[in-house]
Amino acid sequence: MLPSLQSNHQSPRFGCSMNQLFFIAITFVSLLPSAQSGSIPVVKGNWQADFLQHSRRVVPAKRGPPAEWEGRIPLVVTNKCDATIWPGVATQAGTGPGTGGFELEPGKNKTLWVGSDWQGRVWGRTNCTVNGNSCACKTGDCFSKLDCVFSGAPPATLAEFNLAGGVSGMQTFYDISLVDGYNIPMGINSIPAKNTTYIPPNLTNCACIATSGWLYAKAPTGTFYANSSFPVPLEANETNKSVSSWCPWPNLAFPPTKPGDGVYSYPDDNVRRPPFSPCKSACAATNSDKDCCVGRFHNPNICKPSLYSKTVKAVCPDAYSFAFDDQKSTFIVPKGGGWEVVMCPAGRSTNILRQLGKELFELASGGRLSELSMKRLRNVTYIEEGRGAANGVRPLSTAATALVVSIVAAMLMP
> Which pLDDT band holds residue 262 (cuts at 50, 70, 90)?
low
Map out the domains of the chain as residue ranges. 37-252+280-401
- pLDDT of 413 over the 60 cut: no
- pLDDT of 243 over the 80 cut: yes
d(CA 137, CA 197): 41
CB 125 within 8 A of CB 135: yes
Between helix 398-412 and helix 18-31 the angle, nearest 10°, is: 170
- pLDDT of 265 over the 80 cut: no
- pLDDT of 26 over the 50 cut: no
Question: What is Dmax (Cα atoms) for the chain?
Answer: 86
Count of beta carbons in the 10 Å neighbourhood of residue 199: 23
Domain 37-252+280-401 matching CATH 2.60.110.10: the answer reads: yes
Amino acid 112: pLDDT: 97
Query: Per-residue pLDDT tens for 107-119?
Result: 999 999 999 999 9
d(CA 112, CA 100): 11
Query: Per-residue pLDDT tens for 163-180?
Result: 998 888 889 999 999 999
Sign, CA torsion 246/250/255/259:
positive
**Entry pTM:** 0.79
Amino acid 407: pLDDT: 32
CB 103 within 8 A of CB 368: no
Query: Per-residue pLDDT tens for 152-166?
Result: 999 999 999 999 988
d(CA 65, CA 149): 15
> Which pLDDT band holds residue 211 (cuts at 50, 70, 90)?
very high
Sign, CA torsion 75/146/47/188:
negative
